[in-house]
Amino acid sequence: MKIAFFDTKPYDKPSFDKFGKENGIEFKYFETKLNEDTAELANGADGVCVFVNDTVNAKVIDRLCELGVKAIALRCAGFNNVDMKYAYGKIHVLRVPAYSPYAVAEHAMAMLLTSIRRIHKAYIRTRDFNFSLVNMTGFDLHGKTVGVIGTGRIGRVFIDICKGFGMKVLAYDKFPAKDLQNAEYTTLDEIFRQSDIISLHCPLTEETYHMIDEESLEKCKKGVVIINTSRGALVDAEALLSGIKNKKVGAACLDVYEEESELFFEDYSGHIMQDDTLARLISMPNVIVTSHQAFLTEEALYNIAETTVNNLVDIFKNGSCPNELCYKGGVAEDCKSGKCF
């Protein structure tokens, strides 16, 4: 089995080489992202392996099918970069629904603590032997209200972490879990109205696009902290920037950004930043931006590779895969039968 692997980074190879070798899969690694111009690189491959910023639109899908590619293996949980409606019946789309919810949830809390306790500023100061505590005052998490939007695996782990800090947790999910503990379900409006901190752990859909915008921020408490480790377009970056400037938003912790596809995972330190909105966000003293690294732990990389390889083995050798995405019902969801078409 030959798989064309796009958007390759050095940390991808060890785990994929290990599991590939064990299962008779040969990965051909490409540093370039998959798009209409690079789809030709998949010539001779049985499948492609792609990540969050690869483009899998109708034209790419058509070209992959022309080249004989039978499967698209997403090495991530999200699939908003894939035209699932167009893919249905043409090419199998597989994903990794869970790799390490702890990695992402812990990163969200790490960003929050770093921000509110000024850890990043303290590090810079003490490196210059500046031990002043002026403008370093933070606040306790204990007793604060956190609103968690999305109560899947990651959201639940984040809820547990917040409860460990003695926080009151409000939750919202379009499909509430019957067995949710440590949190109280409420409406989005109540999340915005009551929360001192709002953390996003939901997928990007038409409904959730720009969930955090000018209107929703207007409903929030003054000084609200926004955390996004999910998908960049959940937050209207211009509205967030405006909220920071007028002091409605007290801090923002962003591991994702809505226009990240041409920026994140790359080194632009020697270049002029062309994205003015991102440049202004990064320049704000109360904003922390990390470049989509919440998933990046040894455990997560191992699990991602193992599940992706198992998905490929299942679809090519067994003819079905429990992690195949299906569009039978007019919406993309995990295939209940294990065989979408």
pLDDT digits (tens, 9 = 90+) for 272-331: 999 999 999 999 999 999 999 999 999 999 999 999 999 999 999 989 999 999 887 677
The Cα–Cα gap between 256 and 291 comes to: 6
- Note whether residue 340 is domain-resident: no
Neighbours of 300 (CB within 10 A): 20
- Note whether residue 312 is domain-resident: yes
The Cα–Cα gap between 183 and 246 comes to: 31
Band of residue 338 on the pLDDT scale cut at 50, 70, 90: low
Instruction: State the residue range of the domain holding 232.
Output: 101-289
Per the structure, how many domains does the chain have? 2
The Cα–Cα gap between 211 and 214 comes to: 9
Give Cα 215 to chain centroid, integer Å. Answer: 24
pLDDT digits (tens, 9 = 90+) for 19-58: 999 999 999 999 999 999 999 999 999 999 999 999 999 9
Residues 105 and 167 in one domain: yes
Q: Check residue 333 and give its pLDDT.
A: 81
Residues 28 and 41 in one domain: yes
Residue 322: CATH number of its domain: 3.40.50.720
**Which amino acid type is present at position 272?**
I
The Cα–Cα gap between 206 and 332 comes to: 12
Band of residue 252 on the pLDDT scale cut at 50, 70, 90: very high
Residue whose structure tokens are 């690694």: 29
Residues 154 and 91 in one domain: no
- Note whether residue 197 is domain-resident: yes
The Cα–Cα gap between 305 and 311 comes to: 10
Distances (CA, A) of 329 to 85, 88, 299: 10, 11, 34
- Separate counts of helices (H) and strands (E) for the chain: 11, 14
Residues 146 and 6 in one domain: no
Residues 183 and 150 in one domain: yes
pLDDT digits (tens, 9 = 90+) for 9-28: 999 999 999 999 999 999 99
Give catalytic residue positions: 231, 260, 292
Residues 139 and 225 in one domain: yes
Q: What kind and span of H or E run contains 303?
A: helix 298-313
Residues 322 and 184 in one domain: no
Residues 128 and 190 in one domain: yes
- Note whether residue 339 is domain-resident: no
The Cα–Cα gap between 40 and 271 comes to: 29
Residues 213 and 173 in one domain: yes
